[in-house]
Homo-oligomer: A and B are copies of this chain.
């Protein structure tokens, strides 16, 4: 690595926009229509490079997703405005100097990049401040720290005022703009669905490598490396930090230094981000020895049934919140048969008893972000008119509660976990109202956890699992394929 390479590291790969220019023009026109009646300017900030170590050794370049959706140019240090009163669109970025071109070879001009996405006007990056002066500025919440700095400087806000207010709303960002963007990005068109299908096919390949790599004695990190290598060879990389753990009950587990042990359950939750930045996200859980114990199979079967039940219910017009609750009921019914819980099903569902076993939601939106639009505010993205978020463990973590519409892309990811600290806390607090068989649960303290996740498109007629092939999931199927793959 030499000095000049460092100097030019700032400049990432020039990829012209993924789709033809008409796509971006139509999206911005639609946005302008949805913002009708608003005064001022809509501001879009692309990302700049993000330093990993010193300023010029940066993480892999990743453009902002909202920028990609409306302006497509996959390059650092771009910004744009749409004048909501006149419809005028301007891209702000700097052309390369002759010196840059010596180091980087021939590079497209800002003008040609703007043309590729149908924007008429261009201006230098530093002209942005003057363009905003004295105007009402509609901006989206910033995720990157640099954009927090920049917005704070451009708009005279404190950096903490430029970010999303989390679940609650969008703070000083523009709620009309946030809502308009969410409404558009929630419904994926045919091109986007093709991109997500392709990302899912890569996810299938990556999970296949993972499953074949499970052998007692191997170090987990080796399997993760094989998976992520595939993601980098055929796509942008992983769509989030790979979760591969024999402690599925510890949700954060990104630590991969353990050897694979026989008799455990291995949770693998991982996805690929394709070169065009659309994501996939799958979870499978494998018996490390290739066969389930009876105890493992009982719980696995329940999670599998919950995944299938959710998929069978997904169709336009049903609230995903209701699908979550149906899954919770089925889960509790099966756990009751195992004598882990006792009592009236409807009452247990209402009191959120399922949250002890599945303390997360059934799924989330997926698209250009693996948790699509999480930067724009969880509740605004996942909750429709009249829906409020539950305070219950589990249901309260549901990120997509909306009434489903064709074009929604969501995950279907039920799970069951036995989390000793949580179980002890409920026992102490009496949070279960007498429904939990704590004595029997003791036998599950070393069980771990199981999660099974598919990516699903809501269609006119119902639903379709994304990707050409579904990863093996039925318990018999898993055992057969693992036996065949093992030498």
Binding site for B on A (CB under 8 A): 1-6, 8-9, 11-15, 50-62, 65, 98, 101-105, 143-146, 148-149, 159, 163-164, 221-234, 240-241, 243, 247, 249-256, 269, 271, 281, 283, 359-361, 364, 369-371, 373-375, 397-399, 411, 413, 415, 419, 421-422, 425, 451, 453
* Pair B5/A57 contact, Cβ less than 8 Å: no
Given B55, B250, B255, B419, which contacts A163 in the complex, CB threshold below 8 Å? B55
Nearest opposing residue in chain B for A53, CB measure: B369
Which residues in B have their C-beta under 8 angstroms from that of A419?
Answer: 102
Given B249, B254, B269, B413, which contacts A12 in the complex, CB threshold below 8 Å? B254
Rounded to whole angstroms, the CA-CA distance of A57 and B279 in the bound complex is 12
* Pair A54/B222 contact, Cβ less than 8 Å: no
In the assembly, how many copies of this chain are there? Answer: 2
* Pair B371/A105 contact, Cβ less than 8 Å: no
Rounded to whole angstroms, the CA-CA distance of A302 and B11 in the bound complex is 30
Rounded to whole angstroms, the CA-CA distance of A58 and B159 in the bound complex is 19
* Pair A104/B252 contact, Cβ less than 8 Å: yes
Which residues in B have their C-beta under 8 angstroms from that of A223?
Answer: 233
Nearest opposing residue in chain B for A359, CB measure: B4
Given B104, B232, B250, which contacts A105 in the complex, CB threshold below 8 Å? B250
Given B14, B65, B228, which contacts A229 in the complex, CB threshold below 8 Å? B228
Given B102, B231, B422, which contacts A422 in the complex, CB threshold below 8 Å? B102
Which residues in B have their C-beta under 8 angstroms from that of A281?
Answer: 1
Which residues in B have their C-beta under 8 angstroms from that of A9?
Answer: 240-241, 252, 254
Which residues in B have their C-beta under 8 angstroms from that of A56?
Answer: 371, 374
* Pair B225/A230 contact, Cβ less than 8 Å: yes
* Pair B1/A271 contact, Cβ less than 8 Å: yes
* Pair B234/A225 contact, Cβ less than 8 Å: yes
